[in-house]
Amino acid sequence: MKDLALEQNVLKIKATSLKIEGRKKSALYVAAVTDYYRRILDGQKPDVTRAENIKQIFSRPWCMFHFNGKSKDVTDPNFVGHRGLQIGVINNVVQGRLVFIPTHAFGRFDGLQIDVRGDEKPFGFSVQQILQNKKNVLEAKKGISVEVRLPPKYPKLEKGMNVYLASSSKVKGSYDYKKPKPKEFQNRIPIDVRVDVLQDKLRASSKDALFETDADLQVAQNANNVYDSFLKSFQKTGDTIFELNRLTLNNPHGFFVPVSLINELRRGLYQNINPVFKHGSLSVVSQKYESADCGLIIKTDNLDNLQELNLEKFSEIIYLITDKPDFDKLATFDKNKIRLALPTVCRNTEPFRKIISKLQNLGYNKFEAGNYWALNLLDTEKYDVSLSPLIYMMNTEAILMAQEIGIKRISFALEDTKDNMKELVKISPLKTALIVYQDVPLFTSAVCIRHNDCAHCTGAKKWINLSKDGQIFEALSVNCQTMLFNRKPFSMTQQANDIKASFYEFDFCYKSYTPRQLKEITDSLLKDLF
């Protein structure tokens, strides 16, 4: 992938905030990019020097992605990873020295990279010696031919190859930045605390948490100072996930309380509060969903593949539709068994709005949402709506939110752990589904990998085999999107019975199966499960 760099075009976006991607980048990169776009937002024109700094710190070739409409100029077919700022092309290689005319100054110990044909990544090295005008220099000036000593065992370098500045000591010192300390910017939950001071005991409470300790107290000489002592102590929340919002002190007799007792009371209460937040809010749900027996679900994007199956074994058939679903074929199945799955990625929702309306008129009312766009089209008061694994339900708060908006069933994410799923099944108020077989899309991208232009493309399915480090992957190009799959399907039938979800799901979407293959695989899965 190339890097998305909108520069002044960010001013055209009608948004209240902008996100800068900085995953696995350095603090220096974050500082440089934030500085660059902050200046643009403040009305300044793009600064060439600051743009060059970003490219030197970390950069692949820049592009606009699909900002101005569908584009194929979004990938680099030859190289991956950090390239740097181009500062010249090779003029010659003489006696282990690289000769070129730099368009940008660079110094000793800076990093250079060179595009080498046939290699996936550029060849890079640290500059140890610079010659200009036959003299050793610490910094090479731009516009003057330079000779740079190459490291031993350098690859074959040819005239015309691009030279990049990939690391610069000067740029590293151009920004005032510091790394935040651990937990310095931790989000905390505000809590209210009430303290009751009695002659023989102290009691502290916060919602459902309570802690008491025995005491033998005397009347204070200055009762006003007692509140300050409690406030100073209870503001110390330490490594907990909460902070004190309000402290109410009930001390009707004006007793004096030693600091040691106040601190003991604070520690006891905060220790009791922690499990309340740790276990989330599902403990207050009135009733957990109870499943007598585990049901079976089969999912497909081709209804013809089901013709050899005994569908009486399955509680539900999920049909992944496109903007042109097979209504005639759909009519041959029991409507009560059919659930219509909306695609994960959708660039135009209007056709699906009409399809949903038509399906409703035909008597279908079960749908699966594969992304949040679908929830805008599906009225959970009218329809039975379930969630695919791509709407992540990996904690109690997420499940509670799904219940609140009217979802009837959730699916566990494939990235989740067995232990976490087992815990969620025990307390979930909703039905749960576990994928036990699927050709998992490792990613879905709005990037086309076909060589032809859009005007001469049907958008039909096209499979391409790719390999990396000896592992083979299969890429599916369809309707201007690319999906990448491992050659082997995901299967967890051996572990499924430990989780005890409400339903087990077999997913046969995307890849091509014959009815016979699908039946053979299904029979094998059922044998492993039961």
Side chain identity at residue 323, one-letter code = D
Alpha helices in 21-157 (DSSP H): 27-41, 48-57
Residue 42 has a CB neighbour count (10 Å cut-off) of 7
What is the structure's pLDDT at 180? 75
pLDDT in tens, 246-285: 999 999 999 999 999 999 999 999 998 866 554 444 444 4
Which CATH code of 3.40.630.30, 3.40.50.2300, 3.50.50.60, 3.20.20.70 fits the domain covering 295-440+489-529?
3.20.20.70
Res. 92: pLDDT tops 70 = yes
What is the structure's pLDDT at 285? 45
What is the structure's pLDDT at 78? 80
What is the structure's pLDDT at 262? 95
> Of 529, 469, 468, which Cα lies nearest the Cα of 499?
529
Mean per-residue pLDDT, 395-417: 95
Side chain identity at residue 18, one-letter code = L
Mean per-residue pLDDT, 450-456: 79
Res. 146: pLDDT tops 70 = yes
Residue 78 has a CB neighbour count (10 Å cut-off) of 11
pLDDT in tens, 182-217: 777 778 889 999 999 998 999 999 988 999 999 999
> Of 391, 389, 393, which Cα lies nearest the Cα of 423?
393
Q: What share of the chain is helix, strand, coil (3-state, %, to 5)?
A: 25, 30, 45
Res. 406: pLDDT tops 50 = yes
pLDDT-derived band at 7 (thresholds 50, 70, 90) equals very high
CB-CB contact of 302 with 327 (8 Å): no
What is the structure's pLDDT at 296? 96
Please tell me the pTM assigned to this model.
0.72
What is the structure's pLDDT at 199? 86
What single string gives the DSSP state of each residue in 369-397? ESSHHHHTT--TTTSEEEE-TTS---SHH
If one compares 249 and 288, the residue with the highest pLDDT of the two is 249
pLDDT in tens, 319-328: 999 999 999 9
Cross-strand partners of 132: 135, 146
pLDDT in tens, 509-530: 999 999 999 999 999 999 988 8
**CA gap 419, 499 in Å, rounded:** 8
Question: What are the structural domain ranges in the chain?
Answer: 1-177, 189-278, 295-440+489-529
Q: Coil, helix or strand for 417?
A: coil
If one compares 27 and 181, the residue with the highest pLDDT of the two is 27
Res. 501: pLDDT tops 80 = yes
Domain 1-177: give its CATH code.
2.40.30.10
Mean per-residue pLDDT, 343-370: 94
Mean pLDDT of the chain: 90
> What phi, psi does 300 have (nearest 5°)?
-150, 160
What is the structure's pLDDT at 77? 81
Mean per-residue pLDDT, 1-10: 92
Q: Coil, helix or strand for 306?
A: helix
If one compares 504 and 456, the residue with the highest pLDDT of the two is 504
If one compares 90 and 186, the residue with the highest pLDDT of the two is 90
